[in-house]
Amino acid sequence: MDYLTILQILDSALRLATPLLFACLAGLFSERAGIFDIGLEGKMLIAAFFSAATAYSTGSVWLGMLAGVAASLVLSGIHGLASITFRGNQLISGVAINFLASGLTVLIGLSWFKLGGQTPALQGDARFQGIDLPFAEALSGVPVFGPLYSEVLSGHTFLVYIALLCVPLTWYVLFRTRFGLRLRAVGENPAAVDTAGISVVGLRYAAVAICGVLCGLAGAYLATGLGASFVKEMTAGRGYIALAALIFAKWRPWYALYATFLFGLLEAISNRYPSLDLGFITLPSQFMQALPYILTVVILAGFVGKATPPRAGGEPYVKER
């Protein structure tokens, strides 16, 4: 395995990690505010569909992205209504949203495009194009660092960079602003927030909305950046993997970056080496493809040490006497 191969795998890992990172940060905002969201998957899926459909119809990837975000926000709104306003069970609401998205995308897709639930392939401005970072060409000659910069960091689409920027931004918002303090407080002890005269409901809706926007970007990236059309069930469990990464990351933004990159890396490796020859044994492709999911199970089974979720997570807030 030479240096260039490693760089190509890293490059691919970064692209594959991007939707996970968006979704993971989306879950982070929601869960930090005390609203569990297993509907990340559904929100990504519906965003992927509407962004692809809109981008195809209008020819503009930007309108597609907005449509994806809007669709995801609608589902967020439903989740908020069910779990904040009506104090329903957050898991059930999330599951319902996943089913809804899974069914709706295929149904609408069939009716609009008659392609078995897919959207037509996106071309030109209907897709996100790679952006070459400044000096990528010039620096590519520099040993070691040069190729790293031009191969791995440069040449990605707009949303990859946005996702990366979201990490420090999320950290800053959570830990350095008033909104972040209140958001974290409402996920730990909503009664403390309520008695301080701040609206628990308002804060939680804000968190759920941010979650919707980020899931929307994740979905848009899947269909118009990573892929070039919407494909039935194209999220393929990424929403759940993002949740696992969130636990792995202990609900912290920087760790979320590392965790999702690890998942991206595993996926990149399995794409690159459908079957991996380790010399004494050859790992079959089924095993390689299952790697990210195996890691998910391992993480969720608690092999990575104790992770303490936000204390009020999953509990609707009922004002006590």
Residues 6+ apart with CB under 8 A from 207: 29, 30, 32, 33, 35, 183, 186
What is the β-pairing status of strands 276-277 and 156-157?
unpaired
Q: Helix (H, G, I), strand (E, B), or coil: what is residue 75?
A: helix
Looking at the Cβ atoms of 175 and 287, the one nearer to other proteins is 175
Q: Which of 127, 182, 204, 238 binds other proteins (CB under 8 A)?
A: 182
Enter the tokens of residue 293.
């999911």
Looking at the Cβ atoms of 131 and 201, the one nearer to other proteins is 201
Q: Which of 124, 280, 306, 321 binds other proteins (CB under 8 A)?
A: 321
Long-range contacts of 79-84 (CB under 8 A, 24+ apart): 79/35, 79/37, 79/39, 79/208, 80/35, 80/204, 80/205, 80/208, 80/209, 83/35, 83/316, 84/35, 84/201, 84/204, 84/205, 84/208, 84/316
The span of 185-193, 220-228, 259-267, 298-306 binding other proteins (CB under 8 A) equals 185-193
Alpha-carbon distances of 200 from 80, 185, 188, 301, rounded to whole Å: 12, 10, 12, 32
* 289 contributes a contact to other proteins by CB under 8 A: no
* Residue 243 CB, nearest approach to other proteins (Å): 21
* Residue 191 CB, nearest approach to other proteins (Å): 5
Looking at the Cβ atoms of 165 and 181, the one nearer to other proteins is 181
What would the DSSP string read from start to end of 243-283? HHHHHHTTT-HHHHHHHHHHHHHHHHHHHH-SSEE-SS-EE
Looking at the Cβ atoms of 174 and 231, the one nearer to other proteins is 174
* Residue 194 CB, nearest approach to other proteins (Å): 7
* Residue 196 CB, nearest approach to other proteins (Å): 3
* Number of residues that this document lists for the chain: 321
Looking at the Cβ atoms of 43 and 182, the one nearer to other proteins is 182
* 233 contributes a contact to other proteins by CB under 8 A: no
Looking at the Cβ atoms of 84 and 97, the one nearer to other proteins is 84
* Residue 213 CB, nearest approach to other proteins (Å): 19
User: Distance between alpha carbon 73 and the CA centroid of its chain, in Å?
Assistant: 14
Looking at the Cβ atoms of 255 and 261, the one nearer to other proteins is 255
* Residue 175 CB, nearest approach to other proteins (Å): 8
* Residue 182 CB, nearest approach to other proteins (Å): 7
Looking at the Cβ atoms of 178 and 278, the one nearer to other proteins is 178
| Alpha carbons 147 and 153: distance in angstroms, whole number | 9
Q: Which of 32, 43, 184, 252 binds other proteins (CB under 8 A)?
A: 184
Looking at the Cβ atoms of 193 and 257, the one nearer to other proteins is 193
What DSSP character marks residue 124?
A: G
What is the β-pairing status of strands 156-157 and 130-131?
antiparallel
Enter the tokens of residue 29.
């905002």
* 87 contributes a contact to other proteins by CB under 8 A: no
Specify whether the CB–CB gap between 125 and 114 falls below 8 A: no
* Residue 21 neighbours by CB distance under 10 Å: 31
Q: What residues from 188 to 227 belong to the interface with other proteins (CB under 8 A)?
A: 188-189, 191-198
Q: What residues from 149 to 178 belong to the interface with other proteins (CB under 8 A)?
A: 175-178
Size of the site for other proteins (CB under 8 A): 23
Enter the tokens of residue 44.
């990504």
List of residues contacting other proteins (CB under 8 A): 175-182, 184-185, 188-189, 191-198, 311, 319, 321
